[in-house]
Structure 1
Amino acid sequence: MNTPEHSQLGKVSAYVDRYDASLLFPLPRETKRREIGITGSIPFMGADLWTAFELSWLNPKGKPQVALAHITIPCESTHIVESKSFKLYLNSFNNTAFESADAVRESIRADVSAAIWHGGPVVAGAGVKLLLPEAFDREPVQELTGLSIDRLDVECTQYQPAPELLSAALHEQPVTETLTSHLLKSNCLVTGQPDWGSVQITYTGPQIDQAGLLQYIVSFRNHNEFHEQCVERIYMDVMARCKPTKLAVYARYTRRGGLDINPWRSSHPQQPPANVRTARQ
């Protein structure tokens, strides 16, 4: 079984500039999900929304082409793709000729779909959208909508996930609201390097204590875990401690190595959020 320690994270890596799908390094979701009490079927739906800002290849005449890529990875997949391996994989396109942008898109779609199911049947494939330079100026920058809880003047003393900080008015009338914070920070599971993010929590149910929620988000500050795992931990903790009838957790992390990863988890069917970057991304 692949483990993070066996990936290229934190290691000197050769620069491969010829197309090589084997560079993708899948990691099982199951291991970290067991830590937060998920066994068997998952109790949410959602996706991991990736943006690749460094994608280039050659056309049949050898002329370089560039594009942005939006990649959607369903949370039902058995594996994630370790991000450095994704960067190395995209670098392998650099000196490879493709017939068209559609051929590049199809290669990424097929390779990522195979990786996230890691030898098993592809139940839900990855979605891939390429944006060519003529569309670059139509890419918006937009902050997460909702009420910012960063305005609260709270004391923060815990920097490892502390779900006991979460509470809600369980005996009062339910509310529907969206709360946001820019103060999410965690660290790479392998290298310990910082990962900076913003998080949006939308729910219906007992009103969540905002001060406790902010302290809880800050408590991830020294926690080592991948983006996808942090968002699923937040989702499970809020669901267990605050008991909403509906819940969605969405985080947008700043890019590293030309990639950003933005996990979204929801208790109920809905359209995934648009993959629109924030100012920090």
Structure 2
Amino acid sequence: MPQNDKELNLKLLGGKTQYVFEYNPDVLETFDNKHPDTDYWVKFNCPEFTSLCPITNQPDFATIYISYVPDKKLVESKSLKLYLFSYRNHGDFHENCIVTIMKDLIDKMDPKYIEVWGKFLPRGGISIDPYANWGKPGTRWEKIAEQRLAMHDMNPETVDNR
């Protein structure tokens, strides 16, 4: 059984962190799920996400919520942090950032289920909260994804702090 990050083939743990300042999904790393026979949730709360408006080049700030049910692979958290940081100088609309994050994680992990929700701070008096989800085709998670999307934000929280 692997005992350290070198045996796990994780390159980003330990040592000095090298930040990437342009969008780069190649920094994402995964490791084996020791419990693929058990369904469980993994949730990341990323309150310091930034990207750039593709029109004005002004910064956009958000909290990104990533929740998934792993299959054979999990995403390594430091690589996820560096991946999200790679959006720092990336110009894109909020909605596209969220869908791209979800698709990149699907490509790397092939989870049973995943959802990504961005809660962007307002600019011009409007906040945007894009949500995307996906369930593995041909499994019960495909139907769960349909249900969660249909019921998403049916009881929105009171927004009084942004």
Size of the aligned set, in residue pairs, is: 129
Name the aligned partner's letter for residue 169 of structure 1. F
1:200 to 57, 65, 73: 65
2:89 to 210, 222, 234: 222
TM-score (norm 1): 0.43
Q: Which residue in 1 is equivalent to 2:152?
A: 272
Q: Is the 8 A contact 1:250 1:264 kept in 2?
A: yes
Distance 1:280 1:176, change over 3 A: same
Q: Which residue in 2 is equivalent to 1:251?
A: 118
Q: Which residue in 1 is equivalent to 2:48?
A: 183
**CA deviation after TM superposition for structure 1 residue 280, in Å:** 5.8
CA distance in 2, matches of 1:272, 1:169: 30
Per-residue CA shift, 1:192-222, capped at 9, x if unaligned? Answer: 0110011000001132211111111111000
Q: Is the 8 A contact 2:22 2:90 kept in 1?
A: yes
CA distance in 2, matches of 1:201, 1:222: 21
Structure-to-structure mapping, 1:6-21, within 5 angstroms: none
Q: Is the 8 A contact 2:33 2:74 kept in 1?
A: no
Q: Which residue in 2 is equivalent to 1:155?
A: 17
Q: Is the 8 A contact 2:65 2:116 kept in 1?
A: yes
Q: Aligned to 2:100, what secondary structure does the other structure show?
A: helix
CA distance in 2, matches of 1:218, 1:256: 21
Structure with the greater alpha carbon radius of gyration: 1
Does residue 212 of the first structure (1) align with residue 79 of the second (2)? yes
CA distance in 1, matches of 2:41, 2:90: 29
Structure 1 residue ranges without an equivalent (≥5): 1-153
Output the aligned Cα RMSD. 2.2
**CA deviation after TM superposition for structure 1 residue 155, in Å:** 2.7
2:102 to 215, 235, 243: 235
Distance 1:189 1:211, change over 3 A: same
Name the aligned partner's letter for residue 173 of structure 1. H
Structure 2 residue ranges without an equivalent (≥5): 1-15, 135-144
CA distance in 2, matches of 1:155, 1:278: 36
